[in-house]
Structures are given as structure tokens and as C-alpha cells.
A and B are shown apart, each in its own frame.
Chain A
Amino acid sequence: MNNTIRMPTRRLVTRRQALAMTGAAAAAAPFILRAGRASAATELVLVNWGGDAIPNFDHAFAQPFEKETGIKVTIDGTGPTDGKIKAMVESKNVTWNVCDADGFTSENLGSRGLLEEIDYSIVDRNKVRPGHAFQYGCCSYIYSYVITYNSSKLKEAPTSLADFWDLEKFPGKRTFWKYMSGALEAALIADGVPVDKLYPLDVDRALKKLEQIKDHIILWESGADSQRFLREGEVSMGLIWHTRSTLLERDTKGEVKWTFNQGLACPSSWVVPKGAKNVKETMQLIAFMQKPELQVDLLKSMSNGPANPAGSAMAPADLAKIDPGNEANWKIQIPMDVQWYGKNYNDVLNDYLDFFAS
């Protein structure tokens, strides 16, 4: 009974959603088989983290793709953790085509032979930012770990990562992600490391800096946790996904505020599990999802920043404000070094968790 929930890295997926998706796929199967078009027997499965992302990804990507190519795309909200992708590849029965994963997952899993290489003769490397076309993954959208605070708890607005360490001026608890991204960067920047010398991260130095405020830190596990902590005043400030900050600001009518300043801008990536069926069609889907107008649709519904700079450029002003990929916002953030995470994440995450458990 203690396994009733899984806590994936991104979003809490309920069993019901997973069942609903399976049910939908099963119900749709006969129609696909009966459809008359040549490619109609092909069906692709896009796996993301569930919740609102299921209808929103469907609207932004799956429906337009089916309209253009006749290939049906099913959105599955299971939550493709690294562990689940590995399990599926090793079972040699790969039913997923493309997964919504962290940028560094492409490095981490790709180097272990668990992912297909991205075919850049189909996918366009010029439709993502420089450095975001990875060997085993291609940037899908941009998200950011941003300074977010409950203004009813603080007299002044925190504007920099160093403010997390100023307990007098900014009283109350702080929250960082349990799975590390952002926390070590925050500590090093607060300790005076310049942004261009940030990577490779000096983990020991970062943990030493975190030690100073360790008793005032709690860790958020799912995005919903981060919202709960800030809304309920359990913490006064935190470093959380900008997608959640956007929701918090709206839900609390501006009591919770946030800024892109010194946020950690991260690419998510589309990855294809090794041994997936219909790899060519999957690559076509990834290429199709590079269209700027589709990415703006996702920016509107989910606050996910377009991976394609052309998408950011065409976003209207009210959306540009919440887009981490927007040039004005991009300039004041810190870009995550995906290569460093890909190589070091597994080891350093264990040190990080042990640090907080001790």
C-alpha cells in the first residue's frame, strides 16, 4: 500500500490518468487499423509527465501532426523517468516512441546505449539554440528554475540567489528541488563564483555553502509540492520551475511573485528509446514539433518556453513575459551545462541527498 503513488521527477501522475491513457489507446486501436490511409497503421506514442500536459501536448502537437500526416500520436502521461526508459529498453519490448525528458537525460542515457541517435537529416539543428541539438536528444522546450517568493512573508523582494543566504533580511524557510538541479548553482553563485566559471560545478564548495542555511531548507519533490510550500507560507522563498511560478502568481493573485533574474535555464529534450519502432516517423514527429507556432501554443497553455528561437520571437507580449527563451529573459538567466549534468548527475545526486539526510 505504500506504493500507491510514484513520484516522478516532474509531475505527480495518478494511476487513474495512466489507466485512462491505456484505455484510450486500446479504444482507439481498432479505428487506426481500419483507417484507409497508407501510413494509418503506424501509431506513435509520446510519453510525458501527465496532468494538464496530456491535453495540452495533444492539442499543440498530436492533433496537427495527425492532420498533416495521418499518423496518430497518443500522449501517454506515465512519466518517463530514466529508470523506466532503461527498464523498457532492456525488456526489448519498446512501446514508447518519444519521451519528454530532461536535456541531460539524453547524455546520461545516450552514453549507456539506451537511446536512438537523433537523425539530423530529418530534424533541423538550426531550429534550436546553439548547443541544444544533442546527439541522443533534441531540445523540446525550455524551462527555468526561478527565484519565487511569497510577498506576504517578506518585506523586501529577493532579487538574487545570494538573497537565499540572507536570513535576516529574508526570514523564513527556503525550498530547493530534491533532485538537485539549481541548488548547487545557487550556492556557488551566492558564494561569488562568476557565471562563466560556474561549470564544472565545485560540488564540495556548493555543499559547504548550503550547509550555512541547511536547517532552513526543505526540499520539494513534485511540482505540486513547490506550489503548496509557497502558497501555504511553509517557505518564504524557493527555486522552482517557472511553469509553477506562473501558476502560483495567477492563483494567489500576485501574492506569490517571481523573477527570471539568475534563474537556471534548462533545455528539456525529446529522446527516443533504443529499439523503438517506427524511428523514421518518430524523427518526422520531432521535426514537426519544431514548428514555432506549435511551440507558442504550448507556451500559452503550459508556459513551456519554445525551443525554437523563432517561436520566442513570434510570441505576443503577454506570453513573452513568461517565456524563458525570450531574448530579454534569456540574457538574465544562467544556462545549465547539460554535458556536466549528463556526466555527473548520478554520482552527485547521491551526495546531495545524503547531505540533506545527514
Chain B
Amino acid sequence: MATEVAVGTSRRKLLAIGNRQDQVYWLFVLPVLLCLLVFFLLPLFQVFWISLSDPAVGPDNYIKLFDNRAIKRVVLTTLRICTITTVFSVVIGYMIAFTVVIAPPRTRSMLMFAILVPFWMSVLVRAFAWVTLLRSEGIINSFLMSFGIISTPLSMTNNEFGVLIGMVHYMVPYAVLPLLASMDGINPSLIAASRGLGAGPVQSFIKIFMPLTKPGIFAALILVFIMTLGFFVTPIILGGGKTVMIAEYITVQMQQTLRWGLASALATALLAVVLLLIGGLSRSMDMRKMLGGG
């Protein structure tokens, strides 16, 4: 009781100071807000306007999104690739995060290093590294063939398989970080208590540990899914032109076929989906904590 009152008072004090200095703080934020308005929100609104006005004013472009065969295919391809990528990234990410959490401190920092180095590497470099490994005369195929395991090279690139490998590899660190944040928050004595009450290691993991990481799993699923929706470079390099995702389709309509209205409508729809997902995410958990910042 007593501590609660004390906390309440100090927070009130802080708020009071905050109120007095609010205007000053706003001055600090103002340039950023202005930049955001002029260089981000206005152009974004312009994109929205193009989607409603090019080539003619009206909702035609949005109607086309639903009855154009090619767009339907692109959207389905994107959803399929993103779903598969998300599931694999989160499963692999979960295993990695768990290993990191139970590792001794020295091993842990080495593991973190191994997770973060590819995380910082350019998407372009990583895609081309996969080309070197996966192509028909690449490292994996030559290895398998020299040992007589296969006689004709496996088609691992210039198709959807190659795109999936490249994307899962890119997204795994994004799955690991929120999972790690949520696993780190679990009190280890809970597991000890479970073991003490007679549960085996597997049972403790399934009944105690895993349910506690649910928010982390949910965050990782949504975060990875949102990011994969906009993939552009990886499908282009590893897809051989036959795996067209939304971002590439938009680029072609902007640069080549000059269907800006349609491209903008598709971009707006994509943005709406992403905002909805983020909205759902922020309702169910603390965003800062999820990204490891809290």
C-alpha cells in the first residue's frame, strides 16, 4: 500500500514537470514532425490520390485489384511465399532463441554475434551469396555430384525454392529478436518449480515455458510477415523472373508500363494491410518490448 502511494506521488510530480516543459519538448520534436509531414505524409497522400485519379477519377483501380487475373496471381504468390517464409523463420528463430537463452554467457555473446552479423549485412550481398551456393554449377550441386549423390544438378535457384531460402535466411534474425526478448523475461525459477513438482524437461517446456513465450511468437509472426510482404531484391535475384511478388509488380507498373494508378492502388492496399497488422500487434503487446528496446 505504502509503496503504491509513493509511486503515485512521484509520477504525479513528474507529470507536473512534464506539463511545464511540454512546449519546449514540442519545439525539439517539431522539425522531425515537419519533415515527416512534408517528405512522408504528403507524398503518401499523393500516392493515394494517384490511385483514385489516374487514368480517370474514380475507384476503378481498386476494382481492378480484385478482378484482374494477373494481380490475383501476384497477390496469391506473395501471400504464399510470405506465409511459408514466416512459418519457417519463426520455427527456426524459436530454436535459435531458445539455444541463446539457455547458453552460458560467453557462448551467448558468440551466438548473438552470429545472429547479428548477417542481420547487418546488405540484402543484395546475401542474395548473391545464395546464388553462389545454389546455382546448378554452384557449391552445393558440385559437392553432391562429385560424391555421386545426385547425377543431375538440383534446381535450387531461379525458382520459388530459391526465393524461399533467401527470404527465410534474411528473416530469421527478425524472428529471433522478439522471441529472445520474451524468453529473457521468463523467470527461470518457474521452470525450476515445475521440475521440483515432478514434471520432466519436455513437460516443463511444453506446459510452462512455451505458453509464456506466446506473446513473443505472435510478435515474431506478425513482424516477419509484414516485412516479407515488401520483399523486392531477393525474389528478383533468386527468382529468375518467374516469381513475381507485389513489390516487383508495382515497380514494373511504375517504371515500364506507366500504370501509375494501378500501382498506387496496389501500394495503398499493401500499406493498409500492413497498418492493420501493426494495429493488431500494438493492441496485444508493448511494441517497444517486442523489438527488444524496452
Which A residues have a C-beta under 8 Å from some C-beta of B? 1-5, 7-9, 81-84, 86, 108, 112, 173, 178-179, 218-221, 232-234, 345-347, 349-351, 353-354, 356-358
Contact = CB atoms under 8 A, between A and B. Distances in A.
B241 interface: yes
A353 B256 CA distance: 12
Interface stretch (B7-15, B66-74, B103-111): B66-74
Counting contact residues on chain B (CB < 8 A from A), the size range is 20 to 34
Contacts, number: 86
Given A4-B233, A84-B255, A219-B241, 5 more contacts: A9-B255, A83-B258, A179-B256, A234-B135, A356-B241
Interface string B236-250: 100011111001000
Given A178-B241, A218-B240, A219-B241, A232 B137 contact: yes
Nearest to A228: B131
A83 B123 contact: no
A357 B247 contact: no
Given A232-B135, A232-B137, A357-B243, A5 B124 contact: yes
Nearest to A355: B70
Interface of B: 69-70, 73-74, 77, 122-124, 135-137, 158, 230-234, 236, 240-244, 247, 251-252, 254-260
Nearest to A7: B236
B256 A357 contact: no
Contact of A221 (B234, B241, B247, B257): B241
Given A7-B236, A218-B241, A2 B247 contact: yes
The list of the 4 closest CB pairs from A to B, nearest first, reads A219-B241, A83-B255, A218-B240, A354-B70
A8 B258 CA distance: 14
B123 A346 contact: no
Most buried by A among B70, B123, B255: B255
Contacts of A234: 135-137, 158
A9 B255 CA distance: 9
Contact of A81 (B77, B136, B242, B256): B256
Contacts of B255: 8-9, 81-84
